Amino acid sequence: MKSVGIIGAGITGLTTAFCLQKRGVPVTVYEASGRVGGAIRSVYQDGYLADFGPTTILETTRKIAGLFTDAGLDGRKLYSSEAAKNRYIVCNGRPVAVPDTPVKFFLSPLFSLKTKLRLLIEPFIPPRRDEHEESVAEFVLRRLGREFLERAIDPLVSGIYAGDPYKLSVPQAFPRLHALEQRYGSLIKGQILGAKERKQRDEIPKMLAPKVSFDFGLSVLTETLAAKLGDAVQLHSAVKAIARQGDTWHVEFIRNGTRVRAEHSAIVFAGTAYALAELELRAPERIDLSQFAKINYPPVASVVLGFRREDVEHPLDGYGVLVPRIEGLKILGTLFSSSLYPNRAPAGHVTLTTYLGGARAPELALRPEHELVEITLHDLARVLGVKGRPTFQQCMVYPKAIPQYELGYGVFRAKLTEIETSAPGLFFAGHYRDGISVGDSIMSGCRTAERVEKYLSANQQELPAQSRIVPA
């Protein structure tokens, strides 16, 4: 068996490669850039740890925890502090804790009495059974009302997708929410009655799942996986074309200005949708991938600032704070990074990670760094009582950050399945297909490794041989 070619050394590609290698399947990982990790990037400087992009992994299944164990990272794994359990939403310019019990909900100033009472009738609102694809906003307006949409769901969507609830699709972006209504007729009923089934599936709801990082940030995971893979990871190797001839897949890539060809038994594309759109695919006839360029990736800026503890009025006793659009602020939200995990700031200091841009204000993310810092400082002064100048600052701009599972996104997923069927041995995995969180990407990699191994077994590929590389 020739090695399995994996395109992309982000968390999905690395997980897929690591799981296959563990099963005795040889792999070759192609990464166009000079580093692994994709959106995951951690920087340690002057006693501060800046985690750009994602900062936390939700341990929703034992498979995710198992990956950490297999990679030898249990000793470096960190669970979020119990003291940082609160989540805040800005209401009238100030952070208000999100209620986590029914009693706290009815006492919370986040919602009016009318909205609180409306929640009582949610179990009696009939589910929608027609074929209409609802946006998140439509769904919430129908079941929970406008105030709940504007005060809770809009900032939640910004925090997860940096997205717009009027454009995101419920069945595509929040499939479990959609499934609760379809199966139980109610979100509240579904949460109660579905708890037993989730336990049987060995699943923990994302809101309740343990939050995990590592002693020096999430890059510890991606760099460790890459180290385990060794020479199988090929940096500065931009794949331009793949083609199937018989049972063999040919990959053409550019390395050091030279076009090179390699042969593989199967291919996994674990890159981005916009990179997929530029890939030349023949299996054996040409398959047009240009439609995937239509998937929206709004830009997001990550601004990490350090402060003296006495320069921040808020106790920072939580996960972070989200900002509803109706508050008129420019930031999407801020994570209390040094409250979540140790080793994020020097003694007597704190680290705050703030996000700007997204679907709400894409042009904002592309501002010069000094403007991003000043905008962030202005809003943090209002929301958290931050004063003075930061003692640390680092910015990272992602021009194309998170794929938006907008209305009609099912067409893209259906097309991916259609291509896989017509081109045996080609597999698609990653955030453009299987969910946007790091945990989703890890599970996508695990499942894809299983699919690849099944395909190789069915085709009775013999072990082991490495890929054969020849000039193109």
| CATH class belonging to 111-200 | mainly alpha
pLDDT for residue 201: 64
Equal CATH topology for 41-83+298-398 and 111-200: no
User: What order do you get walking across the sheet with 266-269 strand by strand?
Assistant: 233-234, 27-30, 4-7, 266-269, 426-428
Query: What angle separates helix 11-22 from helix 62-70, to the nearest 10 degrees?
Result: 70
Could you say which architecture CATH assigns to the domain 41-83+298-398?
Alpha-Beta Complex (3.90)
Q: Is 411 helix (H, G, I), strand (E, B) or coil?
A: helix
**Is pLDDT above 50 for 280?**
yes
Domain ranges of the chain: 4-39+220-295+405-471, 41-83+298-398, 111-200
Q: What's the pLDDT score for residue 462?
A: 47
- Residue 192, pLDDT above cutoff 80: no
CATH class assigned to 4-39+220-295+405-471: alpha beta
Strands 237-245 and 248-255, sheet pairing: antiparallel
Q: Please give the share of the chain, as a percent, with pLDDT higher than 90.
A: 84
CA distance 356 to 365: 6
* pLDDT tens per residue across span 382-402: 999 999 999 999 999 999 999
pLDDT of residue 186: 86
Q: What is the mean pLDDT of residues 367-396?
A: 97
Interval 271-281 mean pLDDT? 98
- Reading the block at residue 21, the tokens are 């290698």
Cα Rg, the chain, nearest whole Å: 23
